[in-house]
Structure 1
Amino acid sequence: MKDLLLIAVFALGGATCAGALGAVVLRLLRHRSVAVSLTVVAAVTVTAMLAGTLAVAQAMFLSSHDLTVVTLVVAMAAAVSLATALLLGRWVVARSHDLTLAARDFGDGGSFAVPAVPATAELALLSRELAATSAKLAASRERERALETSRRELVAWISHDLRTPLAGLRAMSEALEDGVAADPARYHRQIGAEVERLNSMVGDLFELSRIHAGALTLTPTRMSVYDLVGDALSGADPLAHAHGVRLVGDDVEPVPVEVDGKEMTRVLANLLVNAIRHTPADGTVAIAAERRAHAVVLSVTDGCGGIPDEELPRVFDTGWRGTAARTPPAGAGLGLAIVRGIVEAHDGRADVRNVPGGCRFEVTLPAPTG
């Protein structure tokens, strides 16, 4: 027992010296290739075994022949270990190089393609994470391109919509100033109408800028959907009467919601105005509200004839006004974008889908708890 303990001490001492030396070498080579590190680890393993063996052999006074045999066995093991470490290191380096090239294409604005050659579990996990990140960035770039397109369209449409009333205002003011206006009272009324139109456009732009900047402050209170719909119908009734459109609000359940009354009234008003403008005379615009599971759904159904399927995903984009047939005589296509912004600020969702004879806009709001 004493001999075994002595052998263990000598073996541990020799192996510890070799391990300490290997740790120093690994620290010096920590910035080198993984193949070099694997080779050092294999060399440390064999050297630790050889050092321990030699220490035990010296302490036990082995014959030179026995010592030569032991050293030869260790040397063969060292050769095989080093060769295996080199092959493994080169394989890992090759897989890392493939991953680097794929990541480089990813960084240059392309999409990440997982290398076809099998890799280690860690490299495979890294490849999957890079592929997932690539998909997220591609979606983000697509959204950025869509937003940039919307901004360009918005600037073009706003410029056009501002130029027309401004030109009319200039012409009418010059006619009034020169005293050549046949009906000054009518000119004054028209100037007032154009100023109100411009004021509405500027107000929509300001509201949209607050939404995009995250500066929209909500003051939610518990109220009945019935009251919200009633206020919205009262506000839209004159416009509906002028267009010869019937407003229907019979399918409204008096369910409670917790919303900012002012902002949500604006949402319903925008939806009703949009529906009235796109519904032909003698048509019907219906507003409804119901409780579904853990949500409250408000809907506005018009008689516009439907929206092309390819345009449905863009309905709530900033500046969208659809085809020429759906382009209103006033406005810059901000109403539905404001609707989506306000609804999302309430943790809700705004959707649109075609129904027979028209389309239905739905606002889904979380139902209040308690």
Structure 2
Amino acid sequence: MLGTSYAVGAATPTQPGGFQTETRWHLGGTGGWGKMVLDPAANQLFIPRSDRVDIVDTDSGKVSGQVSGFIGAHDIALDKSGKFGYVSDLADGRAGFVRVFDRTTLQILASIPVGRTPDRIAFDASTNTVFVFDGSAHNATVIDGSTNKAVETIALPARPGSIVSDGNGSIFVAIRSLSEILRIDASTRKITAVWPLAPCDGPSGLTMDKTRRQIFATCENQKLVAVDAGSGVTSLISEIPKGAGDVSFDSQRHLLFVSNGAGILTILRERSLNHFVKLQELAILPGAQSLTVNSTDGEAYVATAEFGQRTGATSEELRYRPTPVDGSFTVLVVRSHSKPHSSVSTSKK
């Protein structure tokens, strides 16, 4: 992902469990990439690529369109009408924006100033609002989707990390340094809960089972936990390899996918509430941390590239940070070819 280094070491992959890399989409181009967002109804995968957003046709694996006009595109959210997209643009690091684009014409419609370092972004359908989180300012800006105007700023206790929206009025925010999750009410624009996540230290990736109202979080101390979205009760799900990246939930097959920078994709299956079994640790490619799952087709998309070092004049820190090699950007398509398992128990015991 943009500005993300990855660990060199890796866990030893478990024996094959039916999942494999089915194909590789060699998309190429320059620049890094942010968190991918899928529109399964339109068969489109949206990928922020620094100065643009690439739109990939998931049937063909080809770039079918681009939205240009960005400086440092980081994260993306889609509205539920299929009309608009919202992108956090770091710009020059001194003044950031949310860019609103038309998903039909692929033109930018509005540029909304939101602070210096906008990063994670979410859309709430129940209020038609957009929430964008600023890492350096420790706040969230609320944008009215009907006017494309910033209407509120919410102060946060520390640097916000990953976020997930339930689409029905609640935004959940990981605070890595405090090992907490905050719940924000999209209607009142207030923090309504603060939940400690023990035994999880340093929550990183977040995803959600919206049916069962469970949030899943990966943690720096190699744990995967489930958090009840109503009570905040946290349950340990599994141990996971070091350096976890994104986590994504397949709601149709009740599967959790966890990526990590060393190139191990961990797949777990839900048997019942808070009971998951580890199916496989699939070796893919190093740096493959950006992940999303297509619950309709049963595919997981994982982005990576070849990495080198910066050769131009730059700081020592940046010079030795792994940097994507131009033209090497690739999305791996992972799926299972094993027979379907029986459905998960719906008991909430």
Say whether the fold is shared (TM-score over 0.5): no
| TM-score normalised by length of structure 1 | 0.21
Structure with the greater alpha carbon radius of gyration: 1
- Provide the TM-score with structure 2 as the length reference: 0.22
Higher RCO (CA < 8 A, seq sep 6+): 2
Determine which structure has the larger strand proportion and give its number. Answer: 2
